Structure 1
Amino acid sequence: MQIENLNTNEKYQKGVNILKNSPLRVTQQRLTLLAYLTDFSEEYITVTNVNRYMHTVYPTASSNTTYNNINEFVKLGILEERNDDGQLSVKYQCDFNQIHHGHFFCTRCHRVIKINGDKELNKVLGMDNFQFQTVNLEIFGLCDQCVQKNAK
């Protein structure tokens, strides 16, 4: 099941279940962070902005705690991360069942569209007999909606 077909509560619950099955303690701060990040499954948010949000909820919280929790969520596969010119950004995992996938980034509306995993990528890349271990595929351009707006 793809995450984009889930409502926000189901997305959140998937992350909570992963957290509960990990060695990490389930804390209120981690649950708040998870809840906030479920709104970012179709776009990236800078870690700096996530930290700002967490400081509005927990004014005395350490920035290191937020950064460490984000790092742990990435390791657990709850978040995807990317580094854009030195600026670290994260988004909620868009497909927990298909970790190997790529993304199309619309340079106009900033929408992020998932490119399905292994079998589809293998076919598109002409690498049918290959097995991927890590996929970091990013394509930039105009999405179908922005192209259609351009044509008008």
Structure 2
Amino acid sequence: MDVKTALARLKEHGYKYTGKREKMVHIFARETRYLTARDVLAYMQEEYPRVSFDTIYRNLSLFERLGILESTELDGEKHYRFACAGAERHHHHLICTGCGKTIAIDLCPMDAVLGQPKGFTITGHKFEIYGYCDDCRGGDA
């Protein structure tokens, strides 16, 4: 996902183009990690000091529904990031629980664990591995 594609997707689905939505898209475009609603609020308040949590949550939900963002849950809180470019290529993520940075892994553990089960058609799944990146571990890997 990139800024141009994200903003076009909003327009395609009939949503207004606003400065706040554009700012949110730019925040996710520059970050390579998952962000909480609180993180987004802090960035937004630099330019929009009176923006509400409700506005942030509403737009995060909209962006996720439109496929602009993807989410995961860490420590009981939803975290968001730009949907992966080339999401048509099946992949999963390693997620640093320290900083939220993600690394795509191109193999699918489901193939080794389950394969194609008899009498059931898998339509989707999500596989995430949590841990610490070298920066958060202090690089002593």
Above 0.5 in TM-score?
yes
**Of the candidates 35, 41, 45, which is equivalent to residue 51 of structure 1?**
41
5 Å-filtered alignment, 1:120-139, equals: 120=108, 123-128=111-116, 132-139=122-129
* TM-score normalised by L of structure 2: 0.77
Runs of 4+ aligned residues of structure 1 deviating over 6 Å after TM superposition are 144-147
Q: Once the 2 structures are TM-superposed, how far is the Cα of residue 98 of structure 1 from its aligned partner? A: 2.2
CA shift for structure 1 position 126: 4.7
Contact 2:33-2:99 within 8 A present in 1 as well = no
1:23 to 14, 18, 22: 14
Distance 1:128 1:121, change over 3 A: farther
Other structure's SS at 1:45 match: coil
> Which letter does structure 2 place at the counterpart of 1:103?
H
TM-score (norm 1): 0.72
Runs (5+) with no aligned partner, structure 1:
4-10
| RMSD across aligned positions (CA) | 3.0
Aligned counterparts of 2:37 and 2:7: Cα–Cα separation in 1: 20
Equivalent in the alignment of 1:6:
none
Structure 2: gaps spanning 5 or more residues: none
Count of aligned pairs between the two proteins = 138
Bigger share in helix: 1
Question: Which letter does structure 2 place at the counterpart of 1:32?
Answer: K
Residues 91 and 104 in structure 2, CA contact (< 8 A), matched pair in contact too: yes
| CA–CA separation in structure 2 for the residues paired with 1:132 and 1:17 | 31
Contact 1:102/1:135 (8 A) holds in 2: no
